Amino acid sequence: MEIIKTAEDKKLAVEVKGRLDTTTAPELEAALKESMEGIEELTLNFAELEYISSAGLRVLLATQKAMQGKGEMIVTGVNDIVMEVFEVTGFCDILNIAK
């Protein structure tokens, strides 16, 4: 998995490439935690995310909760495979997913 972070003012954009699973989820969680101070808008770009497991979903849920009251979290670039996981798990109702 590759994580590319771009911060500007109170905005943070994070591009995630590869597989977000049990092995890589802690890496994303750590990268987000170290960058969230003062962030009011978080954009997660999943255009090159190939797979997401329950461990990845847990990181998204924790990040969504961390952003509540601070600002907005937007998920972009979701492919059909990842969107199916979001739909089956109900995450499409929890997350702000931009088409």
Report which secondary-structure segment, H or E, holds 94: helix 91-94
pLDDT of 12-49, one tens digit each? 999 999 999 999 999 999 999 999 999 999 999 999 99
Domains and CATH numbers, the chain: 2-97 (3.30.750.24)
pLDDT for res 25 = 98
pLDDT of 48-81, one tens digit each? 999 999 999 999 999 999 999 899 999 999 999 9
Q: Say how many CA atoms lie within 13 Å of 97 toward its Cβ.
A: 20
pLDDT for residue 99 is more than 80: no
Chain mean position to CA 80: 16
Residues in the chain: 99
In whole angstroms, what is the distance from residue 62 CA to residue 50 CA?
Answer: 21
Enter the tokens of residue 38: 């003062």
Instruction: Say which residue the tokens 């997401």 belong to.
Output: 52
